[in-house]
Amino acid sequence: MNETKYKILVVDDEEINLQIIEANLQSDYIVDSRTSIKEALSLIEENLYDAFIFDINMDEMDGLDLCKIVKNYRKYIYTPVIFVTVVDEVEKIEKGFSYGAYDYITKPVNPKELKIRLKAHIKISKNQIELNENQLHLNEEIQKLTKELVEANKNVRISEEIFQGRETKFKYNDERIKENLNFSKVFDQRVLDMQEKLEKQKILLSEVKKSLG
């Protein structure tokens, strides 16, 4: 099974430089190459590239500004940009890094070095993209679990309120029962007192009758 070929855009205003780079990469990559900045910008907009190789010095627009444009695209945040430059352009190289470039290679281009650097940076880029996707998925799962936990806590709170309500009701009913029992005891005692009083009255009445008889 063939491995997926990554897609590269090479931009240089000198045709000979494009031919050299393209000839060394086309066996391992799908390579688009342009000398025109306008055409390059159209390709950047219309396609999804896995890496860019820009000459740092071009007449129409230098590689620094082109890199800056590329990095304004959300889809290219983690896409490596490699500059082709001369040895003494340290200031431009540093500026390129501040714009989001990943690396640079000096002229004359060493094909083996370019392949090694390109392969390494694409691998890092893909790992970063995968890591971000996994992090996004993890965040979504955390949000989902948090929502479920909040809902579960809400249900527990409602259950506790219901239980407390029932407990309060049970306490109220228990108190009512106790009150009724107390009332019943008082009532029974009053009945007994009345019966006792009635018996005493009967005895007294009987004695009165005897004395009159």
CATH at 92:
3.40.50.2300
Query: Does residue 32 form part of some domain?
Result: yes
Q: Where are the beta strands (DSSP E) in 15-142?
A: 30-34, 51-55, 81-85, 103-106
> Measured between alpha carbons, how far is 56 from 67 in angstroms, rounded to an integer?
9
Per the DSSP assignment, residues forming a β-bridge with 52 are 9, 81
The torsion defined by the Cα of 184, 189, 191 and 193, in degrees rounded to 10, comes to -170
What pLDDT, in 10s, does the model give residues 76-124? 999 999 999 987 788 888 999 999 999 999 988 999 999 999 999 999 9
pTM of whole model > 0.75?
Answer: no
- Give me the half-sphere count of Cα atoms (radius 13 Å) on the Cβ side of residue 7: 8
Query: Does residue 74 form part of some domain?
Result: yes
Query: Does residue 151 form part of some domain?
Result: no
Query: Does residue 15 form part of some domain?
Result: yes
Query: Does residue 148 form part of some domain?
Result: no
Query: Does residue 211 form part of some domain?
Result: no
Q: How many domains does the chain have?
A: 1
Residues of the chain below pLDDT 70: 1-3, 152, 156, 159-195, 197-213
What residues make up the domain containing 122?
7-137
Mean pLDDT of the chain: 82
